[in-house]
């Protein structure tokens, strides 16, 4: 009997101990998660943030030039920088629920649309430029720039003329500077201590970096890509057709931005280094590694084919989604259906293969 008790005690201790085991051996199997994390951070995340920071800086320069000398040439140059920066944003939004970006809640400020143009006009009239006030989150960011550069007057001449008043220029500058202020600390954090912290989180738990990235990636796809860019405006979630809800409603850049976002999503999936053709460890190679263990159809090629199909359907749409929605909704619905199909693959097939839970469900299993 004593033997049995001893055995019981030994095993019970063992099993309880496993709960908070802090031993963390570096992975040495044929798929190395640390390598994948390093690839993500060093070749994708930090370069994307650096690029975005650079684009914001160019945007700032163009803003300064335009506010000093407001003419059509400078407006065109500014608009070009605005679109460049907006596209660059699509590459970093995937990581906006991680680290400093999450702490600053950047998505809340940078890209909430439709923008509040009435609020913007009031701010301009009152000369109020404090964009850290909670209520101002839809009076700033790219959607506000979109309004300021394309929507404040009926035509370009009238728009340029608006900036002869100091208030418009001041507000424009404040919006651009606010974008910079929201990104500089995020980039600094990644370049600083957070990089190593993140790369070391190799365990499979809610706090593990792979799990965090997987959850954010899917969240970004479902919400910022699928729902905001197309689903909402075509009335998928109720409220009928809402063409005014498209991204860049005034600048009519919705398709370009949507495609940029899809590129960012696909590149990250494939582990493609930022602005390079080299591929590193990624969801794709991780899935390929797991696929080799199970029989049946390989998942990664199916998912990439689905992304390409979605891109084909998006490409068929008008450059301005609002115009598309107002003229013929059918191609927009088709594009949405293909975007939607990938949600199921991400949430079911990829999550199952990685065996990470969608968010952290704290409960016993069977």
Partner 1 sequence: MNMPKHSYFSKTTSVAPLVIFRIGFGLLMLISIIRFWYNGWIETQYIQPKFFFSYYGFEWVKPLGVYTYALFAFCGLSAFLVAIGYKYRLAIIAFFISFTYIELMDKTTYLNHYYCISLLSFVLMFLPAHVQFSLDAFIRKKEYTTIPKWCIDSLKLLLGLVYFYAGLAKINSDWLFRAMPLKIWLPSKYDLPLIGNTVMQEEWFHYAMSWSGMLYDLCIPFLLLYKRTRLLAFVAVVFFHVFTRILFPIGMFPFIMIVSTLVFFEAPFHQKIIAFLRRKLKPVTTLFTKNGIINLKSYTYSSKKIVLPLLIVFFSMQLFLPFRYLYYPGELFWTEEGYRFSWRVMLIEKAGYANFKIVNKETRNFFYVENNDFLTSMQEKQMSTQPDFILEYAHFLGDHFKKDGHKNIQVFVESYVGLNGRLSSLFIDPNIDLYQEKESLSHKDWILPFKDEIKGF
Binding site for partner 1 (CB under 8 A): 1, 4, 7-8, 11-12, 14-15, 18, 21, 23-25, 27-30, 33, 202-205, 208, 231, 235-240, 290, 293-297, 299, 302, 340, 343-345, 347-349, 351-356, 358-359, 361-366
In this complex, which beta carbon is closest to partner 1, that of residue 130 or of residue 366?
A: 366
Query: Least distance from C-beta 118 to partner 1, angstroms?
Result: 27
C-alpha separations of 126 from 3, 51, 69, 131, 178 in Å: 83, 34, 23, 13, 18
In this complex, which beta carbon is closest to partner 1, that of residue 112 or of residue 272?
A: 112
Query: Least distance from C-beta 20 to partner 1, angstroms?
Result: 12
Three-state SS for 98?
coil
Cis omega before residue 103 (within 30°)? no
Query: Least distance from C-beta 134 to partner 1, angstroms?
Result: 23
**Which residue has 């398709």 as its token pair?**
255
Tokens coding 225: 């890509």
In this complex, which beta carbon is closest to partner 1, that of residue 7 or of residue 188?
A: 7
Judge contact between 267 and 366, C-beta under 8 A.
Answer: no
In this complex, which beta carbon is closest to partner 1, that of residue 134 or of residue 365?
A: 365
Q: Where are the alpha helices (DSSP H) in 69-208?
A: 72-92, 99-104, 106-110, 117-126, 141-146, 156-162, 166-191, 193-199
In this complex, which beta carbon is closest to partner 1, that of residue 161 or of residue 206?
A: 206
Query: Least distance from C-beta 26 to partner 1, angstroms?
Result: 8
Task: Check residue 279 and report its DSSP letter.
Answer: B
Query: Least distance from C-beta 328 to partner 1, angstroms?
Result: 17
In this complex, which beta carbon is closest to partner 1, that of residue 326 or of residue 337?
A: 337
In this complex, which beta carbon is closest to partner 1, that of residue 4 or of residue 68?
A: 4
Query: Least distance from C-beta 256 to partner 1, angstroms?
Result: 26
Query: Least distance from C-beta 106 to partner 1, angstroms?
Result: 22
d(CA 34, CA 22) in angstroms, rounded, equals 17
d(CA 237, CA 357) in angstroms, rounded, equals 25
Half-sphere exposure of 285 toward its Cβ, with a 13 Å CA cutoff?
18
Query: Least distance from C-beta 349 to partner 1, angstroms?
Result: 5
Chain centroid to Cα 179, Å, comes to 15
SS (H, E, C) 276-289: CCCECCCHHHHHHH
In this complex, which beta carbon is closest to partner 1, that of residue 11 or of residue 166?
A: 11
Query: Least distance from C-beta 330 to partner 1, angstroms?
Result: 14
Q: Which of 152, 75, 162 is nearest to 117 (CA)?
A: 152
In this complex, which beta carbon is closest to partner 1, that of residue 58 or of residue 219?
A: 219
Judge contact between 94 and 216, C-beta under 8 A.
Answer: yes
Task: Check residue 295 and report its DSSP letter.
Answer: -
Tokens coding 365: 């299993």
Q: What angle do CA 281, 259, 210 make, to 5 degrees?
A: 30
């Amino acid at each position: 009997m004593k033997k049995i008790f001893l055995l019981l005690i030994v095993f019970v201790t063992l099993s309880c101990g496993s709960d908070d085991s802090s031993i963390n051996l570096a992975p040495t199997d044929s798929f190395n998660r640390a390598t994948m994390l390093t690839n993500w951070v060093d070749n994708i995340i930090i370069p994307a943030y650096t690029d975005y920071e650079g684009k914001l800086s160019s945007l700032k320069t163009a803003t300064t030039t335009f506010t000093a000398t407001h003419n059509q040439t400078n407006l065109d140059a500014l608009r070009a920088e605005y679109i460049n920066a907006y596209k660059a944003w699509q590459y970093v939004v995937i990581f906006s629920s991680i680290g400093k970006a999450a702490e600053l809640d950047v998505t809340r400020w940078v890209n909430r649309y439709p923008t509040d143009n009435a609020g913007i006009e009031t701010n301009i009239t009152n000369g109020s430029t404090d964009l850290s006030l909670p209520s101002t989150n839809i009076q700033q960011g790219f959607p506000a720039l979109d309004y300021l550069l394309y929507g404040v007057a009926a035509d370009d001449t009238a728009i340029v003329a608006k900036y002869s008043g100091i208030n418009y220029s001041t507000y424009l500058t404040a919006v651009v500077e606010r974008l910079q202020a929201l990104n500089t600390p995020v980039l600094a954090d990644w370049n600083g201590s957070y990089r190593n912290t993140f790369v070391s989180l190799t365990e499979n738990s809610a706090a593990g970096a792979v799990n965090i990235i997987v959850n954010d990636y899917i969240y970004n796809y479902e919400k910022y890509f699928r729902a905001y860019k197309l689903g909402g405006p075509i009335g998928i979630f109720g409220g009928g057709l809402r063409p005014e809800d498209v991204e860049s409603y005034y600048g009519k850049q919705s398709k370009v931005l949507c495609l940029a976002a899809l590129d960012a999503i696909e590149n990250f999936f494939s582990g493609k280094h930022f602005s390079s053709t080299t591929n590193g460890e990624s969801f794709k190679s991780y899935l390929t590694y797991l696929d080799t263990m199970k029989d049946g159809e390989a998942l990664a090629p199916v998912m990439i084919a689905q992304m390409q199909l979605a891109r084909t359907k998006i490409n068929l749409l008008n450059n301005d989604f609002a115009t598309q929605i107002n003229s013929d909704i059918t191609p927009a619905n088709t594009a949405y259906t293909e975007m939607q199909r990938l949600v199921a693959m991400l949430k079911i097939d990829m999550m199952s293969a990685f065996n990470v839970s969608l968010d952290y469900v704290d409960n016993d299993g069977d």
